[in-house]
Structure 1
Amino acid sequence: MVSKKKKKYSSGEGAQFMTRKAALKKLQLSLKDFRRICILKGIYPREPRNRKRAQQGAGGIKTLYHTKDIKFLLHEPIIWKLRDLKVYQQKIRKARAMRQYGQMRKFLRDYPEINIDHIVKERYPTFVDALRDLDDCLTLCFLFSTFPSLKRVPRDQSMLCRRLTVEFMHAVIAAKALRKVFVSVKGYYYQAEIEGQTITWIVPHHFSFQPQSKDEVDFKIMSTFVEFYTMMLGFVNFKLYHSLNLVYPPKLTAAFSPGSEKDLIDERAYVAERIAAMNMSLARVAGSNEAEELPEIDIFNTEDEDPQKLEDAKLEAEKVKKLKTMFKGLKFFINREVPREPLVFLIRCFGGEVSWDRNMFVGATFDETDESINYQIVDRPSMDKQFLSRYYIQPQWVFDSVNARTLLPINKYLMGAVLPPHLSPFVDKTKDQVYIPPEQRALNDPEFKPQNEASDEDIEEASDEDKEDVDNSDEEGDDEALTRQYQEEVAEESTSEDEGEGDELDVEKKKLAKEKKKAMAVTAGLTHKEHPYQKEIEDKQAFRLREKLVRKKHRNLYKSMKAGQEARKKEIWLLRKKRRLHDEKVKEDKKSDKRKQKIQALEAAMA
């Protein structure tokens, strides 16, 4: 029998991939609806190994998807909803053109809605899966919560993001889950630990909104992502509130209700309402405990049973326990020039009480004249009226204390003082090649003294090595003197014995005995000093030989690892160079200021 000839591209990469045009034809969807369904279902383009085979011999670069992903979309019920929407849109357009406004109102009333609950449950079967993918969700929802009413963003989407983000911040406050914070140009970086999962998100600064052109930002695609993320965040908030014995949805201020319109117009009123909502305590489920107990963290033995790892884990657990109640029993008052939202969030997360001027903003809990206030946060050089019963500090003290997990000394953060650098706590300790600024090294090691240049450190290290060599040489000299003294004593004893027995033994026997004794004598060895340059050359040669032993299938991986190391070295070198230039500029500014002061003093003396 003659076997059938196999058709080209019927198997392998030619059958595994499908172009976007073919996918649109198979699903019978427009490009807009296809993008929307792919975002909701989490399907994205793939990169094949051999593009020519995957594109079935076609040239150019095309957008490719896995065939199984497109087949997976065929069974999605939302596709039928999208087709119904298309039908209704055609009916509405026809009724408007025919001026049948009653019929048009009927179609608008019966307009079908898309429900994506099942997609969230499908993509995140467990609560932990949703927490692992919560970083982008929170960042985008916080960004959209600052948007006004835009053309390509639905009117109620920003309102929904505002309500959900405030609910999440309340859950973090109730759970005392915040761990790190960092203030940057982009915004406020927060990191929380919920159910053993680390979640990091960014809250942008509150500036006036600047419209962007369509070429720079596609708000339609971002709005589709937010459509899915709001549904996901609603599920997460519901689960968090019930695990904390809190009533969901919480009763917040009137500005977060869907019927209010003033916050869409007045951004300052919205921000004030949101901060006031964060300063309120939430209602708990009837019968639950008011005071939440902090459970002890169990420390289990590791496989290698390393005592150092167990000790580190216990210390970390104790630090986290102290961090949760760091501001407990303390009262803070915030001046009107200080950004209130991040400070209120931080102070409330760690058990403190906070208030502000009730004449300027809503939601204040106590007045400035309260004598029980411990700290007043000020961002101005001086104040006319001051109370002796409290400390006047700058806002950075709160952020640095949270990252240090203890109340730092306030002498560097007093009103009008020059602040120390605000260091980022987001440092990967597992990496061996990380740039550590001098201030961080000084915090880690109190005995560390920063040097202006790396060459000074090298000189000091070289001088220390020379001192060690001198000490070793002195020790070696003492050993040689002791061995010589011992040999002389042995020789004297041997000669005295030989003189007593000289009459009995012959001269030849005496010579043989002396030669044997000389051969058996202990002599001091000479130390061989290694040349560091020669040793470095030998180590490099041995390393090149080891590199040649890398298997062929692992060579590309090894090359990428080496490229990563070189990139990190270059990044560290660049950061050190920037720091050196910055320090030189600061020194020059100080010198110029001193010169100006001297000139002014001379001019005053001459006058």
Structure 2
Amino acid sequence: MARMKKKFESGAATQYISRKRACKKLQLSLADFRRLCILKGIYPHQPVNKKKVNKGSTANRTFYFMKDIQFLLHEPIINKFREYKVYIHRLRKAEAQYDKVKAAHVRQNRPTYRVDHIVRERYPSFIDALRDIDDALCMCFLFASLPKSGRVHVQTIDLCRRLTVEFMHYVITSRSLRKIFVSIKGYYYQAEIMSQPITWIVPHNFPHAHPSDVDFRVMSTFTEFYQSMLGFVMYRLYQSINLHYPPKIPLLASIDLNIEKKEGGRDNEMSKFCSENEKCAEVVASLNTAIAKFESADDDGDTVKEEEEADELLQEAGSAGDETRKRRIEEKQFLKLFEGKKFFLSREVPREQLVFIIRSFGGEVSWDKTVGIGATFSIDDEKITHQLIDRPTVDKTYISRYYVQPQWVFDCVNAHMLLPVANYLPGDVLPPHLSPFVDEDHEGYVPPERQRVIALQRGKDPGINNDDDDVSEEEEENSDDEEDVESDEEEQEQKSKVLITPGKKDVDRKEKPDQIAAEEKRLAVMMIPKKKKRLYEKIKYGERRKRREAEALASKRKMIDDENRQKKKKEKKAKMRRMN
């Protein structure tokens, strides 16, 4: 007799397991189970037929793959979780008995674990880890900006801060930064590292309180894994460009750390050593000092030889080689955007972000020495070319430098060129800050500001400062408006008349290739199968929707420009009346 098949004991019912059964199988609490799944990268899955998997029930349950839970059975971290429970039990017992010696001994033997083997397990190659580094950077930058409190460990915040500073130093040294966008959420950055685009967000440096509806235990578990992952990645990245890891400052003796010297024995020497380490960490965190490299005489020669060989190969190639060579020249010029420029930052501007951006493109930065350590020159330096301020007026000005608002730096990077400073002077209304992550060609609408930047990139005069400053220009516009009204009246009169046109002979279709192509396209659309025709109709509907959205944006922009123009005219008329 054949074996009888029982319901819910084969098929999809055996491929999934509920969260409650998984916790019972692993002998873990719900909090430890969540923590283990986050570290191992295992997430719940929604079955296709939930009723079959849930044994005929329609209750809401969380399901996991059975093979994932079996994969967790032999994880060594589970034993560490159980040891930690024993540690908590022993510590509470010692504290309840008021045995301080035993409690101190228990605290010293606190069980710890590492997640290095999980990092190697989840990312077998370095490129895999580099592609998944976006979330790690966002989380570490977020925790680095959190205030120190009881909800987040201080060691976690300090480690995240150190890792983020190390990553910014790598981007500065390798000149990997490509795009910047400032939004209400923070600063969006995109860097190209080993041909991989990496995007992350840095929150604004504003004081904030911990929200009550956020579970920081879950976020801390993610951060715990991301810290180990970033440590592996940063070591490999630093080694790839011949840098010391952790970063070190070259010629430490030449840097003035403002350390007070005191007479004394070994205690004073140790305090001096600790203060030097703290000052060195502050100098590294200022991002304004180049970090040390390994001494190797062949590095520069090898890079020069590689560039020469690449140029020779491009010269041997044809037109494609010319285009590639031109693209490479433009990229080199873009990476040296601020080279030879010296910037001085005022107190009110975001210092860390601007230092990171300017130094990523070869510029020199400094600020007031009383604000923080790491300044390299004072405000009286005559070689300063730009001073970034965010105030309407300046107390003391120098003829040899430009005074611009911080948005000029972000817009120059996104435009891949130094924009005119006329629209970014102190107290002026800034132009819109456009996002470089938006593809205007794909969206179908290109804002006028973007069109002006494209014209500047092509070497044309976009006419940025075409403001109506004279009364004669107003009179010309009024005359143009009157001519437009007269022309509209003439067109209406012509439309009211009955126009009789003589008939024409039929024209040969061969003389109209556009009409032939349109008819062929119509016939081809008619021959599309029914399944693919629906897809074609969806594509055409999407194109029409984008066209409508672009037209709506253009009409809104035209309405706003007309209102601003009318407002300017009224203000100028009122000004002329006051002058008269």
Instruction: Specify if TM > 0.5.
Output: yes
Task: Indicate if the aligned counterparts of 2:283 and 2:289 stay in contact, CA closer than 8 A.
Answer: no
In the alignment, which residue of structure 1 is the partner of 2:437?
Answer: 426
Determine the structure 2 residue equivalent to 1:334. 345
Partner of 1:13 in structure 2? 12
Partner residue of 2:287? 278
In structure 1, the residue matched to 2:215 is 218
Work out the CA distance in 1 between the residues paired with 2:63 and 2:565.
57
Match of 2:92 in 1: 93
- Aligned counterpart for 1:545 among listed residues 522, 526, 538: 526
**1:303-314 to 2 correspondence within 5 Å?**
312-314=323-325
Q: How does 1:61-210 map to 2 (within 5 A)?
A: 61-210=60-209
- Return the offset for 1:536: 12
| 1:82, distance to aligned residue in structure 2 (A) | 0.9
Residue 52 of structure 2 aligns with which residue?
53
Matched ranges for 1:247-286 at <5 A? 247-251=244-248, 273=282, 277-286=286-295
Deviation at 1:222, TM superposition (A): 0.9
Counterpart in the other structure of 1:361: 372
Q: Relative to structure 1, is the Cα distance of residues 20 and 536 closer, same or farther in structure 2, using a 3 angstrom cutoff?
A: farther
- 2:421 alignment partner, SS class: coil
Alignment match of 1:227 (pick from 224, 235, 244): 224
Q: Which residue of 1 aligns with 2:264?
A: none
**Partners of 1:36 and 1:578 in 2: CA distance:** 50
The one-letter code of the counterpart of 2:224 is E
Rounded Cα–Cα distance in structure 2 between residues aligned with 1:387 and 1:224? 52
Q: CA RMSD in A?
A: 3.9
Q: Deviations over 1:316-365 (max 9, x none)?
A: 32222112222222211122222211211111111111111223332211
1:373 matched residue in structure 2:
384
C-alpha deviations, 1:499-526, integer Å up to 9, x for none?
Answer: xxxxxxxxxxxxxxxxxxxxxxxxx984
Q: Secondary structure at the match of 2:446?
A: coil
Which shows bigger deviation, 132-141 or 437-446? 437-446
TM-score (norm 2): 0.76
Contact conserved, 2:283 with 2:373, CA < 8 A, in 1? no
- For residue 202 of structure 1, give the secondary structure of its aligned residue in structure 2: strand
Shift in CA distance, 115/413, structure 1 to aligned 2, threshold 3 Å: same
1:441 is aligned to 2:451: yes
CA displacement at 1:577 relative to structure 2: 6.1
What amino acid maps onto 1:282 in structure 2? I
> Retained in 2: the 8 A contact 1:245–1:288?
no
How far 1:251 sits from its partner (Å)? 3.9
TM-score, normalising length: structure 1: 0.73
Match of 1:38 in 2: 37
Which amino acid in 2 is paired with 1:426? Answer: F
Aligned length in residues: 505
- What SS does structure 1 have at the residue aligned with 2:234? helix
Alpha-carbon contact 1:284-1:290 (below 8 Å) kept: no
Matched residue SS, 2:343: strand
SS of 1:102's partner is helix
Contact 1:166 1:274 in 2 (8 A): no
Deviates more, 1:107-116 or 1:307-316: 307-316
Cα distance, 1:388 vs. partner? 2.2
Q: Counterpart of 1:182 in 2: which secondary structure?
A: strand
For residues 316 and 220 of structure 1, do their structure 2 counterparts lie closer, same or farther at Cα, with a shift above 3 Å needed?
A: farther
Summarize the Cα distance change of 1:363–1:567 in structure 2 as closer, same or farther, 3 Å threshold.
same
Corresponding letter in the other structure for 1:218: D
C-alpha distance in 2 between matches for 1:236 and 1:407: 33
Hey, what does 2:407 align to over in structure 1? Answer: 396
Q: Which residue of 1 aligns with 2:482?
A: none
The 2-side partners of 1:111 and 1:166 are apart by 30
Partner of 1:385: 396
Amino acid at match of 1:278: L
Which residue matches 1:26? Answer: 25
Aligned to 1:410: 421
Identity %: 48
d(CA) in 1 for partners of 2:227, 2:545:
38
- SS of 2:424 mapped into structure 1: coil
Contact 2:368 2:379 in 1 (8 A): yes
Tell which structure's C-alpha radius of gyration is larger: 1
Aligned residues of 1:333 and 1:376 also touching (Cα < 8 A) = yes
Return the alpha-carbon distance in structure 1 between the equivalents of residues 353 and 401 of structure 2: 21
Letter in 1 for 2:287: M
